[in-house]
Each structure stands twice: as structure tokens, then as C-alpha cells.
Amino acid sequence: MKDKQTIIVLDFGGQYKDLIARRVRELGVYSIILSGDTTTKEILSYNPIGIITTGGPKSVYKPDSPLCDKGLLESGIPVLGICYGMQMMAYVQGGTVESASVSEYGQTSGTVISESPLFEKVGNDLKVLMSHTDRITKIPEGFTVTAYTNDCPIAAMENKEKNLYGVQFHPEVTHTLKGKTIIRNFLYNICNAKGDYNMKNYIETAIEEIRKQVGNEQVLLGLSGGVDSAVCAALISKAVPNQLVCIFVDHGFMRKNEAEEVKQAFADKSLKLIAVDASERFLKKLEGVTDPERKRKIIGAEFVEVFNDEALKLGRIKFLAQGTIYPDVIESGNGKAATIKSHHNVGGLPEKMGFSGLVEPLRGLFKDEVRKVGRELGLPEAITERQPFPGPGLAIRIIGEITKEKLDMLREADYIYREELGKLKKKPSQYFAVLTNTRTVGVMGDERTYGYVLALRAVITGDFMTADYAHIPQSVLARISTRITNEVHGITRIVYDITGKPPATIEWE
Ligand code: XMP
């Protein structure tokens, strides 16, 4: 986003760096995350309107701890130091940081004691999230203390002349009640932000960039049915109509109606969609396979083969597009990554096809922003609001051997479950059904039945790394149980999974 005002989030290892970057964007300012060891010269090359230094697990006074360059703090560019970021600001400029006798963790009350552009419209009473053992015991020359808590006499400080501000607490989390106002104040009162970032202009800029990069050439994209590749396709087809070729491999493990939804969503778009029904081919390969890892490997390899066969039929295409998003970029090394995602549908293809460039228009976006772009581009909700879905699909939600009958059974049951939970006001983060490999005795009318046990899974999570099982109202579970056992032949018993992650994973296989 070359022509947009930019905030740099300098990462010193804190767990909230993504959250800080997202908050800034939600407030209408573009942000990027750079590693704490980025040189001042490189940081300045982005022409940032402000810098936010994040928290981190180390102690600033230990020899191997990362510190920012003093020159950066002297550059006149506004800096907001958060937690470790604030301690570093103090330490680098001659203040003192020490380990406190009492650690402060959790929500704490605090008081603002001097007028500060950072605390405008915040009031004097603070409710903030603290998470620290070290604290500043002496501020550097030229600074004033602007807030304190019971256990932390220097909870915020500033040097207006140098445009340096620090808070010991975490304004980026919702546990800090006026945190968003504090970040807004930093952006608009201190950095003079214009608020020139939103999804509409992201789309405009992305379209211009795609046109410039691609010219009159063709672009190839693997559509997986997920949000990222779908939004990527919609964006590229809008930028360069009729130059995008999408290959959609239906491995037969999609949920009910899903393959149709993907095809329909793109039926009226200016692109060429090649939908390959490879379900029989995949089922054949999986005959007799019960081990989860083998299932995944076989599906992954087969996917590459089907995709590549189709791609090679197309002749030379110059560009490969990918739905890489910002978290993929951050995870693979702080914005330096430019490699091809180890995405299952492009393995080995880049060399064979000799692509001369990668098109990744979502590279700068977080997931919620990708969904927004999708909505702006008119994609249906069934796609933009889609839950995460594993690449191997229902194949890893059928325990044991996969057969066509089991797939049909699971598809129906899963559909009913998702339909009912979809009616809840507050929906879990992810919910799906699993067909176990256990059969139990049941009774229907006067008949004895012998059918499968179906497990229902629903979790609440922010990052999918840890999760709690969702507390679904009993009446809803009862309705789902009745519907599934009545409507899906072959299922006699329903159980609800009450395990968190850890110790379980979200998926069963
Ligand atoms: P687990 O089961 O590891 O899942 O707790 C965490 C999240 O990742 C999804 N998941 C996958 N996504 N390919 C994917 O693209 C996969 O092979 C895969 N396996 C799990 C899962 O649905 C959950 O959201």
C-alpha cells in the first residue's frame, strides 16, 4: 500500500503483535509488522507516520535482549511503546528498569494524572490489562509520568517534544476498557493520521497493482472452496476480466452443497472455471485406508496430481495466483517471505509450468479483512463467512475406512447440525459432525437397528491453537439429535464432544 499512511508495528516477541496491527487497521490506518531488529534505515524507508513497539518476554537490561536503535527514538516520528516496548524506550534513553517485587497480571485499575493527547476522552479512571514483572523505576530526562496503578507507579509516560509515549499496559486487548480510544488518540492526535485505509480503497489499489503486474497475460489459480482462494479469484477476475483460469478439484469430501456453491459463486464472474469431479479417483485411492496420516498424505498427493494434470493441459500460463494472507507472511518470517506456499494444490507445478510471477493480492490482509473484501466484491455469505475446513475435508471426519455410504451419511448429518447451530445468535467458532467407526444397537418402532455413533463438535476459539468446547443449549442439542436420528438413515446414536484443545485437537483425525 505504497500511497497509504503507514504505522509500523515493531515486534519484540509479544503475543499481541497481530492484534495491535489489526486494531490500527480497524481504526482506518494501514499497518505492517516488522521484526524488532529491523534497521532504522529500513524502517524509515516505509515513511511511517508512527511506530508502535510491542511487548516481549525478555528483560531490557539483560545482555541478549533486543533493543531498538536510539536514533529511531530521536527521529521525531511518534512512537508508542507498549509494555516491553515502553521499558525499552525508557532504558535506551537512560531511564531505569528493574524487576518488581510484585508481578502484575490481569485487569487492574489505574489513574491518569496529567493531561495527555494519548488519554483524550479516556477519563481519569483506567481499567487496564497488565502483564509484567519488570517495571520502570526512573523515567529518562524530559519525560513525565501520565498514569499509575497501585503496583506500578509509572504506568504511562510521555515526552511530548520528542513525540514519545509509553504505556505499561496493553491497550490492544479488550480487557483494557478504553484501549481502542487510546490507540485512536495515538493515531489521530499524535501521528496526524488521515484515516485513508479501508477495504474499498484496498480493493482499488489491489486492482491497479494486479493490472500493472499481469498486463495481458493469463493467470492460474487453484480454487479450494475456502475463503482466501475465493476472494483472490473474485479480485483478480475483476482486475483482469477473462484472463484468470481457476481449477477447482472436487475430491468428493466437501460438505453438502459446497461444490455447487463454489461453482455458482463464480458462474457470473469473468473467469474460466475448470471444475474437476475427481471423487471416484480419490475414493479408490483410499480403499481400505484407516490411518489418519496416510489418508492425509494420499489425498494431498492425489490433489497435486489432479491439479497438475489439468494445469498442464492448459499450455503455458505466465502467472500463478495464490490466496496467501498476512498471517501466512508473518509466520514465514516477518514479511520477508516470497516463496510459494506449501499449499497442496501447487506442489511441483511451478517448475513444470515455468511461471514467471506470483500474484498474491491478499498478502497484506488479515482474515477478517479478506472476508470484508469478499463481501465488497459481492461473494455470497456461504463463501465469505465460511468456517475453516481442512484440506482433506470429510475424509478426516470419518473415522476408519471411507466409503460412499458413510460420506453421504456424514454429509446429511453435518448439514442438519450446521443448519441448527447456524440459527444461534452467538455461534461457536467452528462446528461440525464426525462419523465414528463404532456401531451400536438402537430401536426404531418395533425394529432393532444397528447403526453408527455420530459425534458433534463445536468449539470457541480465537486462534484455533487452543479452544474450549462450546456450551450449546440442551434444547438445541435435543432438537439436533431428534432430527439427525430421524432424517439420516444409519445413525442410531449421537454424542457431544466435551473436550478442549488441549488435550484434544479440534478435528478428530
Ligand atoms: P486441529 O485439529 O489441529 O485443527 O486442532 C486446528 C484448525 O485447523 C483446521 N485443520 C486443517 N486445515 N488443512 C487445513 O487447511 C488440514 O489438514 C487441517 N487439519 C485441521 C481445523 O479444522 C481447525 O480449524
Q: What pLDDT digit, counting tens, does each position of 283-334 carry?
A: 999 999 999 999 999 999 999 999 999 999 999 999 999 999 988 887 665 4
Q: Provide the angle, in degrees to the nearest 10, between the axes of the packed helices 227-239 and 367-376.
A: 50
Burial of 359 (0-12, 13-18, 19+ CB in 10 A): buried
- Summarize the confidence of residues 240-251 as an average pLDDT: 97
- Compute CA distances 294 → 89, 282, 307, 437, 444, whole Å: 51, 13, 20, 17, 37
Q: Is the CB of 391 under 6 A from ligand 1?
A: yes
Number of Cβ within 10 Å of residue 460's Cβ equals: 16
Q: Say if residue 469's pLDDT is above 70.
A: yes
Would you state the pLDDT for residue 444?
Answer: 87
Would you state the pLDDT for residue 346?
Answer: 58
The residues pairing with 248 across neighbouring beta strands, listed in sequence order, are 223, 275
164: Cα within 13 Å, side-chain hemisphere: 26
Verify whether residue 381 is a known catalytic residue.
no
Q: Say if residue 204's pLDDT is above 90.
A: yes
If you search the block for the grid coordinates 481442512, which residue do you land on?
390
pLDDT category, 424, cuts 50, 70, 90?
very high
- Summarize the confidence of residues 140-156 as an average pLDDT: 96
Contact 218, 245 (CB under 8 A): yes
If you search the block for the grid coordinates 489489526, which residue do you land on?
22
Burial state string for 468-498 with b = 16 or more CB within 10 A and e = fewer than 16: ebbebeeeebeebbebbbeebebbbbbeebe
Distance 205 CA to ligand 1 centre (A): 32
| Cell output for 482 | 431428534
Q: What percent of the chain has pLDDT over 90?
A: 84
User: Can you tell me the distance from the alpha carbon of 25 to that of 373, in angstroms, rounded to the nearest whole number?
Assistant: 14
Distance 390 CA to ligand 1 centre (A): 5
- Summarize the confidence of residues 55-61 as an average pLDDT: 95
Q: Is the CB of 392 under 6 A from ligand 1?
A: yes
Q: Taking Cα atoms as reference points, which of 232, 509, 262 lies closest to residue 358?
A: 232
Residue identifier of the C-alpha nearest atom 16 of ligand 1: 390
Which of 429, 464, 468, 469 is the best mutation target for the ligand 1 pocket, counting ligand atoms within 8 Å of the beta carbon and taking the most?
Answer: 464
Q: Say if residue 351's pLDDT is above 80.
A: no
Q: Is the CB of 501 under 6 A from ligand 1?
A: yes
Q: Say if residue 347's pLDDT is above 80.
A: no
User: Can you tell me the distance from the alpha carbon of 425 to that of 209, in angstroms, rounded to the nearest whole number?
Assistant: 39
User: Can you tell me the distance from the alpha carbon of 101 to that of 135, in angstroms, rounded to the nearest whole number?
Assistant: 10
pLDDT category, 103, cuts 50, 70, 90?
confident
User: Can you tell me the distance from the alpha carbon of 199 to that of 234, in angstroms, rounded to the nearest whole number?
Assistant: 14
Q: Say if residue 212's pLDDT is above 50.
A: yes
Q: Say if residue 341's pLDDT is above 60.
A: no
**H helix intervals, 50-123:** 70-73, 84-92
Q: Say if residue 116's pLDDT is above 80.
A: yes
| Cell output for 155 | 504506568
170, 251, 343, 344: the catalytic one is 170
| Among 48-52, 101-105, 286-290, 439-443, the least confident range | 101-105
Q: Is the CB of 323 under 6 A from ligand 1?
A: no
Would you state the pLDDT for residue 415?
Answer: 98
Q: Is the CB of 300 under 6 A from ligand 1?
A: no
Distance 508 CA to ligand 1 centre (A): 10
- Summarize the confidence of residues 374-386 as an average pLDDT: 94
* Beta sheet of 219-223, edge-to-edge order: 272-277, 244-250, 219-223, 319-321, 357-359
Q: Which atom of ligand 1 is nearest to the CA of 507?
A: 2
83, 152, 232, 246: the catalytic one is 83
Which of 342, 507, 509 is the best mutation target for the ligand 1 pocket, counting ligand atoms within 8 Å of the beta carbon and taking the most?
Answer: 507
If you search the block for the grid coordinates 459481492, which residue do you land on?
378
User: Can you tell me the distance from the alpha carbon of 280 to that of 271, in angstroms, rounded to the nearest whole number?
Assistant: 27
Q: Which atom of ligand 1 is nearest to the CA of 389?
A: 22
User: Judging by DSSP bridges, how do beta strands 96-112 and 447-460 pair with one another?
Assistant: unpaired
Single-letter code of the amino acid located at 409: M
Q: Say if residue 337's pLDDT is above 70.
A: no
Would you state the pLDDT for residue 102?
Answer: 82
Q: Say if residue 1's pLDDT is above 90.
A: no
Q: Is the CB of 367 under 6 A from ligand 1?
A: no
pLDDT category, 69, cuts 50, 70, 90?
very high
Residues in contact with 147: Cβ distance below 8 Å, sequence separation at least 6, in sequence order: 110, 111, 112, 113, 119, 126, 155, 156, 167
Residue identifier of the C-alpha nearest atom 19 of ligand 1: 390
Would you state the pLDDT for residue 509?
Answer: 95
**H helix intervals, 112-175:** none
Distance 428 CA to ligand 1 centre (A): 16
Verify whether residue 405 is a known catalytic residue.
no
Distance 393 CA to ligand 1 centre (A): 10
What does the mean pLDDT of the chain come to? 93
Q: Which atom of ligand 1 is nearest to the CA of 391?
A: 13
> How many residues does the structure list for the chain?
509
172, 258, 420, 509: the catalytic one is 172
Q: Is the CB of 505 under 6 A from ligand 1?
A: yes
Verify whether residue 172 is a known catalytic residue.
yes
User: Three-state DSSP class for 338?
Assistant: coil
Distance 202 CA to ligand 1 centre (A): 29
- Summarize the confidence of residues 189-197 as an average pLDDT: 97
Q: Is the CB of 217 under 6 A from ligand 1?
A: no
User: Judging by DSSP bridges, how do beta strands 96-112 and 125-138 pair with one another?
Assistant: antiparallel
Q: Is the CB of 388 under 6 A from ligand 1?
A: yes
| Cell output for 11 | 515486534
User: Can you tell me the distance from the alpha carbon of 490 to that of 410, in angstroms, rounded to the nearest whole number?
Assistant: 10
- Summarize the confidence of residues 330-347 as an average pLDDT: 50
Contact 325, 342 (CB under 8 A): no
Would you state the pLDDT for residue 343?
Answer: 46
CA dihedral sign, ordered 386, 388, 393, 394: negative
Q: Say if residue 408's pLDDT is above 70.
A: yes
Q: Which atom of ligand 1 is nearest to the CA of 508?
A: 2
- Compute CA distances 396 → 280, 298, 324, 412, whole Å: 17, 12, 24, 16
Burial state string for 51-86 with b = 16 or more CB within 10 A and e = fewer than 16: bbbbbbebbbeeeebbbbeeebbebebbbbbbbbbb
- Summarize the confidence of residues 426-439 as an average pLDDT: 97
Would you state the pLDDT for residue 327?
Answer: 83
Q: Say if residue 335's pLDDT is above 80.
A: no
User: Can you tell me the distance from the alpha carbon of 371 to that of 383, in angstroms, rounded to the nearest whole number?
Assistant: 9
C-alpha radius of gyration, the chain, whole number:
26
Would you state the pLDDT for residue 114?
Answer: 94
- The residue ranges of DSSP E strands in 181-282, in sequence order, are 219-223, 244-250, 272-277
Q: Which atom of ligand 1 is nearest to the CA of 392?
A: 17
Cis peptide before 171, with omega less than 30 degrees from 0?
no
